[in-house]
A and B are shown apart, each in its own frame.
Chain A
Amino acid sequence: MNDIRFAFRQLAKSPGFTVVALLTLAIGIGACTAIFTVVNGVLLRPLDFPEPSRLVRLYESRPPEFPQFSCSVGNFSDWQKQSTSFSSLAATYYSAFSLTGSGDPVRLNGQRVTTNYLSTLGARPALGRDFLPAEGAEGRGDVAILGEGLWSEQFGRRADIIGQVIHLDGNPVTIVGVMPWEFHGPAIMLPTAFTADNLANHGSHFMQVTGRLKPAVSVAQARAELAAIAGRLEKLYPVSNLRWTVLVKPMLEDMVGNVRPQLLALFAAVGFLLFIGCANVANLLLVRAAGRSREMAVRAAVGASRTRIVRQLLVENIVLAIMGGILGTVAAYWGLHLLLALSPYGVPRARELSVDRAALAFSFGVALLTGIGFGLAPAFQAARVDLNTVLKDAGRGSGEGRHRHRLRNTLVVAELTIAVILLVGAGLLMRSFIRLVRINPGFNAESAFMVNVTLPDKKYAKDEQAAGFAGQATEKLAQIPGVTFVGATQSMPFYDDYVLTFFKEGEKAEPGREPSANYYCVSPGYFKAMGIPLLKGREFTASDSSTAPRVAVVSAAMARRFYPNEDPIGKRINVTNPQGTWSEIVGVVGDVKQYGLNSEAPAANYEPLQQHPFQFLTFVLRTSGGAPGLSAAVRSAISSIDPDQPIDAVKPLTELVRDSVSRERFGMNLFLVFSGAALLLATIGIYGVMAYSVSQRTGEIGVRMALGAQPRDVLLMIVGQGAFLIAIGIGAGLVGSLILTRFMASMLYGVGAADPLTLAGAALTLALAAFAACLLSARRATLVQPMVALRGN
């Protein structure tokens, strides 16, 4: 207890040291705890469902074209019937609804689910009940379960919402439940009913399947069983199922697998940052220990054993670290909010993240380890006093041994090494990001906007109705002042995709190996609205109506891949069904990146929307440099056609492109912050070591100057000493970078993990900063007055 009281007194006695040490520890522990919270919450913590390890996701797969694909109703139904590995299998699929009857129509992003979906997950509504099995029968699906968000925003969290009737797409639907906040679900869920036609369809893939394994059944066993079932289905349905197999992935892995490398890299980076901070604090402790050698000698002289002195110093260091940990936890709380605010859309489980007990335990553990790990060496150093020398030579601040020098130098070299690694990491991500955003997506996102419209099934059941709406909306939207071109499509690059197999006229494809391409149904103005260049032939026109001969436009990639040595214009293709109507290729347009800037532009097949109408529509509006009040104008235009038709928010295409690299930007920004902090701390570290060295060598510098050393000589001597440490640190850092940045390879685009420019840039940046710090100390050394120094000595 006395030691603790004394520790606080000591810290209060040196406020400068205490503040600097606490801030350094708080930043290090805070950043580390914040990132740990994310890593723990996203990667490590089990899903909030009972027995989450039994939950799996199932996908269909036909590599290499479709390595992970949605499931068909027919296959899902067969898996349910034939599999014995699962206690239940459930399916969901996206469905948008128009909520009408209370003010403006609202577009809801919902899901149709099999009635066992929630019970498969082990989730329960917070209010009301789950779907009943009978509600999965055809004609009985007029019930809904709300998500907590929709319940709050649209229904004011009314407890009497259960049993209320709302209107979706004009149909009355009874609300039977409300999901809790923790449930990561859609705005609204409705039960799905599969018709006999649906159940017989094995080729139309659009569902996500979730399974709960039976107790004691492993994922590997389920995989083996489903592979066998897929083999049987392939024989039964060769047209639709040839070469299709089943992927079974643990649900947590499926949800977070793609962010794992980035989070782990960030965790490593922040760990490095903490180390640098701790090394700085350890250096401060060493300097402080040197200043307290007389105190330690007096304690030893009056009978304190070495262990006793080490214990006292260790208590001081642990008290300091725990205070740093407390501040760090507060910093982590703010840091986490900042992190989540900056984090890209779609970080899985982000809603669940909070500085919880695990984070507190982590923070406390790190603080304790920091206190012991980085306090032990300085404590031992301080306890190692030569009583005779120190007590006899009290005023001179001597007793500074080579070992203490060596330890401080080692710590600063380690700091520099790690700073180089972080700078290289940040540099690689930055160069990668710069390359990424310079990639032409294939369309011109500037001054263009998009808006989604989902037409209700019943109201627009017929193709002519959907086509009529698309035509009218295009016309109305084009009349908005400032809008220069309008186009419509059922599939937007960077947003959603639609991949279909197709047949080339005159070529018989091997069953199961039919070529596939991204499929777009677009209106006549689409290419102009998107800024996709026409390379050959013509675009679609109003004359390409439902009654006109079928036509298609293909992308350059499709032309290259499927018509390598011939002109595709005039050739005919047929989507999905060789017995259907053939479409003549009338034009070739530029390639468009579909799946992000760092992906290859896929082969793309465009067909006229009027000939293939869809209920899911995205309108693209190109403006002449911006259109004030565009959202209201779009809403008004759509409303003038169908007052009950809701629309999504109007979104700039630049946002679509920006969002597509948000994960890369997030990782880069965090790395830049961490490496900037590392650069600063390492620079402070070397400055501290050099400044302390100069203060310790004042006498020596005085002697040298008395013997005729010029200021230049002193400057070179001090800078040389620093340059030696810098050179070792940077050299080790470059070697470390070559080893460690290989693990970042999956996060890089267009730049190798051993990119020489980045390595040189990082080394140069750190060398300049550290050199400047040395120069500052060296300049102070040149100002030493030889007489004053000699007197002091």
Chain B
Amino acid sequence: MSQPLLKLDNVTKVFLTDEVETHALSGIHLEIKKGEYVAIAGPSGCGKSTLLSILGLLDTPTDGTYLLNERLVQGLTPAERARIRNREIGFIFQSFNLIGDLSVYENVELPLTYRGLPAADRRARVEEALEKVGMAHRAKHVPSQLSGGQQQRVAVARALAGAPAVLLADEPTGNLDSKNGDAVMELLQSLHRTGSTILMVTHDTRFARHADRTVHLFDGRVVEESVENKDMT
């Protein structure tokens, strides 16, 4: 049996504010295999985004272990974590988080620049990613000239460009209308079909059904895991 790409073992996250302890995550066990499409669902404040932040190395767990590609990622320096984020993880945010002063092309190129790739290499990858999301014709535009759906497609291209091991999507349709939301979900679906590993946070059960499996969180705990029967849908 293949080793999981991401593995959380008994992970907890406690926030301390003014002597008040908030348990955002408690004893989370989670394994995600290569090529899987997993949705994390649950109501607001259940710890979905915290879990995603820990998986994306934007935050560290208070307790427990996290293995990414069989490597223990706790105790890494900020620089090493940044390096892993850059090479292994692709982020798709709810609010797109494109940089307004950069063109579409430059936004997609950004993680490759941080990786130190040569310009020709970067160009090939950016063009391929933009082609994949159907935004090549908008390469010279700035984000403010695009619709929300287009901006999210550019964000997906940025996440894809570095060929990461896993795509982490935090409510990718949260700021989109239903038509654009469907289009982005369709894009993620097609990426999954080509072998991408995707972990998506959503509170919309309609979109969670696109995933192979859904992990339900409540009050920082995994309360249920459901496997989607794609034939039935």
Please name 18 pairs of A and B residues whose Cβ atoms are closer than 8 Å in the assembled complex, sorted by A. A699-B97, A703-B93, A705-B82, A706-B56, A706-B58, A707-B86, A707-B91, A707-B111, A707-B158, A708-B82, A708-B85, A708-B86, A708-B114, A708-B115, A708-B162, A709-B82, A710-B79, A787-B53
Residues of B within 8 A of A (CB): 53, 56, 58-59, 78-79, 82-83, 85-87, 91, 93, 95, 97, 99-100, 110-111, 114-115, 158, 162
Task: Report the separation of the CA atoms of residues A704 and B53 in the bound assembly, to the nearest whole angstrom.
Answer: 15
The smallest beta-carbon distance between B36 and chain A, in angstroms, is 22
Q: Name B100's closest neighbour in chain A (CB-CB).
A: A700
A416 to B85, CA, bound (A): 39
Check B58–A707 contact: CB distance below 8 A. Answer: no
Residue numbers in A under 8 Å from B110 (CB-CB): 704, 707
Q: Which residue of B lies closest to A707 (CB)?
A: B111
A711 to B114, Cβ gap below 8 A?
no
* B58 near A703: Cβ-Cβ < 8 Å: no
**Interface: A786 (CB within 8 A):** yes
- Beyond contacts A703-B93, A709-B82: 9 other A-B pairs, Cβ-Cβ < 8 A, are A705-B82, A707-B111, A707-B158, A708-B82, A710-B114, A711-B78, A787-B53, A787-B59, A790-B97
Interface class of chain B by DSSP: helix
When distances are taken between beta carbons in the complex, the residues of chain B under 8 Å from A713 are: 114
Digit string of A688-715 for contact with B (CB within 8 Å is 1, else 0)? 0000000000011011111111110100
Residue in chain A with minimal CB distance to B159:
A707
Residues in B with CB closer than 8 Å to A704 are 99, 110, 114
Q: Are B86 and A793 in contact (CB under 8 A)?
A: no
Given A703-B97, A787-B53: A708 and B79 within 8 A (CB)? no
Task: Report how far A711 CA is from B87 CA in the complex, Å.
Answer: 16
Instruction: Return chain A residues, CB-CB under 8 Å to B78.
Output: 711
Contacts of A710 in B (CB 8 A): 79, 82-83, 114
Q: Please indicate the chain A residues that have their CB under 8 angstroms from the CB of B115 in the complex.
A: 708
- CB–CB B111/A708 < 8 A: yes
Give chain A's interface residue range (CB within 8 Å of chain B): 10 to 19
Q: With both chains docked as a complex, state the minimum distance between the C-beta of B182 and any C-beta of chain A, in angstroms.
A: 25
Task: Determine the chain B residues whose CB is within 8 A of the CB of A703 once the complex forms.
Answer: 93, 97, 99
Chain A residues near B95: list those with CB within 8 A: 793
A interface with B by C-beta (< 8 Å):
699-700, 702-711, 713, 786-787, 790, 793
Assembled-state Cα–Cα distance A706/B82 (Å): 7
Question: Chain A residues with Cβ under 8 A from B83's Cβ?
Answer: 708, 710
CB neighbours (8 Å) of A706 from chain B are: 56, 58, 85, 91, 97
B60–chain A nearest beta-carbon distance, Å: 10
Given contacts A700-B99, A713-B114, A790-B97, contact A708 B59 (CB under 8 A): no
In the assembled complex, the Cα of A790 lies from the Cα of B111 at a distance in Å of: 17
Give the distance to chain A from B215, nearest Cβ to Cβ, in Å. 20
Contacts of B87 in A (CB 8 A): 708
Q: With the chains together, A709 CA to B91 CA distance in Å? A: 13
The number of residue pairs between A and B whose CB atoms lie closer than 8 Å in the complex comes to 53
CB proximity of A369 to chain B, nearest CB, Å = 35
Identity of the chain B residue whose Cβ is nearest the Cβ of A704 in the assembled complex? B110
Q: From residue A530, how far is it (CB to closest CB) to chain B in Å? A: 71
- Whether B97 contacts A793 by the Cβ 8 Å rule is yes
Identity of the chain B residue whose Cβ is nearest the Cβ of A783 in the assembled complex: B78
Closest-CB distance, B53 to chain A (whole angstroms): 5
Residues of chain A with a CB closer than 8 A to B99's CB:
700, 703-704
A786 to B91 alpha-carbon distance, docked (Å): 12
Residues of chain A lying within 8 A (CB to CB) of residue B100: 700
B58, B79, B111, B158: which contacts A786 (Cβ < 8 A)?
B58
Assuming A786-B58, A787-B59, A790-B58, is B97 touching A709 (CB within 8 A)? no
B-chain residues with CB within 8 Å of residue A711 when the two chains form the complex: 78-79, 82
Closest to A701 in B: B99
CB distance from B222 to the nearest CB of A (A): 21
CA gap between A706 and B158 in the complex, in Å: 12
Q: Do residues A709 and B114 form an inter-chain contact, with CB atoms below 8 A? A: yes
What 5 A-B pairs are tightest by C-beta distance, nearest first? A708-B86, A787-B58, A707-B111, A703-B97, A708-B114
Least Cβ–Cβ distance between B84 and chain A, in angstroms: 8
Could you say which residues of chain A place their CB within 8 Å of the CB of B53? 787
Shortest C-beta distance, A778 to chain B (Å), equals: 16
CA distance A709 to B114 in the complex (A): 6
Distance to closest chain B CB from A427 (angstroms): 37
Q: Are A790 and B93 in contact (CB under 8 A)?
A: yes
Instruction: Output the least CB separation between A704 and chain B (Å).
Output: 7
With most chain B CB atoms within 10 A of its CB, the pick from A702, A708, A709, A710 is A708
Alpha-carbon separation in the docked complex, A141 to B82 (Å): 98
B79 near A707 with CB under 8 A, answer no
B119 shortest CB reach to chain A, Å: 17
Q: Which residues of B contact A786 (CB under 8 A)?
A: 58
Contacts A790-B93, A793-B97 given: A707-B114 contact, CB under 8 Å?
Answer: yes
- In angstroms, Cα B97 to Cα A706, docked, is 10
- State in angstroms the CA–CA spacing of A793 and B170 once bound together: 14
Q: A699 vs B100: C-alpha distance in the bound complex, in angstroms? A: 11
The residue of chain A having its C-beta at the shortest distance from the C-beta of B168 within the complex is A706
| Chain A residue with Cβ nearest B110 | A707
For B82, B93, B95, the residue with the greatest tally of chain A CB atoms inside 10 Å of its CB is: B82
From residue B87, how far is it (CB to closest CB) to chain A in Å?
A: 7
Across-interface contacts of A702 in B (CB, < 8 A): 97
Q: How close is B161's CB to chain A, nearest CB, in angstroms?
A: 10
A724: shortest Cβ distance to chain B, in Å? Answer: 13
In the complex, A713→B114 CA distance in Å?
8
Residues of A within 8 A of B85 (CB): 705-708
Of B59, B78, B79, B83, most buried by chain A (CB within 10 Å of CB) is: B78
A570 to B116, CA, bound (A): 87
In the bound assembly, the distance between CA atoms of A218 and B60 in angstroms comes to 89
Interchain CA distance A699-B93 in the complex, whole Å: 12
Alpha-carbon distance A699/B97, docked complex (angstroms): 8
Q: How far is the CA of A790 from the CA of B115 in the complex (A)?
A: 21
Most buried by A among B56, B79, B95, B97: B97
Cα of A285 to Cα of B197 in the assembled complex, Å: 49
A700 CA to B96 CA in the complex, in Å?
11
Complex: chain B residue closest to A706, CB-CB: B91
Residues of A within 8 A of B114 (CB): 704, 707-710, 713
Query: How distant is B122 from chain A, measured CB to nearest CB, in Å?
Result: 13
> What is the minimal beta-carbon distance from B6 to any residue of chain A, in angstroms?
17
Complex CA distance for A711 and B100, rounded to whole angstroms:
21
Contacts of A793 in B (CB 8 A): 95, 97
Chain A residues near B158 (CB, 8 Å)?
Answer: 707
Contacts of B56 in A (CB 8 A): 706
Determine how close the nearest CB of chain A comes to the CB of B97; give it in whole angstroms.
4
Q: How far is the CA of A5 from the CA of B114 in the complex (A)?
A: 53
Minimum Cβ distance to chain B for residue A270 (Å): 38
> How far apart are A792's CB and chain B's nearest CB, in angstroms?
11
Q: How far is the CA of A708 from the CA of B97 in the complex (A)?
A: 14
- Min C-beta distance of A154 to chain B, whole Å: 77
CB distance from B94 to the nearest CB of A (A): 10
Closest chain B CB from A690 CB (angstroms): 16
> In the complex, what distance in Å separates the CA atom of A699 from the CA atom of B110?
15
Minimum C-beta distance from A702 to chain B (A): 8
Most buried by B among A699, A709, A790, A793: A790
Q: In whole angstroms, what is the CA distance A702 to B83 when docked? A: 15
Docked complex Cα distance between A556 and B78 (Å): 76
Residues in A neighbouring B58, C-beta threshold 8 A: 706, 786-787, 790
A contact residues around B59 at 8 Å (CB) = 787
Alpha-carbon separation in the docked complex, A702 to B111 (Å): 13
**Chain B residues in 8 Å Cβ range of A705:** 82, 85
The smallest C-beta distance from A122 to any residue of chain B, in angstroms, reads 70
Least Cβ distance of A705 to chain B in Å? 6
CB of A398, distance to nearest CB on chain B (Å): 10
What CA separation (Å) do A713 and B116 show in the bound complex?
11
By CB atoms of chain B within 10 A, which of A700, A706, A711, A713 has the most? A706
- Give the residue name and chain of the A residue nearest to B155 (CB): A703
Q: How far is the CB of B62 from chain A (nearest CB, A)?
A: 14
Of all chain B residues, the one with the shortest Cβ separation from A786 is B58
Q: Give the distance to chain A from B199, nearest Cβ to Cβ, in Å.
A: 15
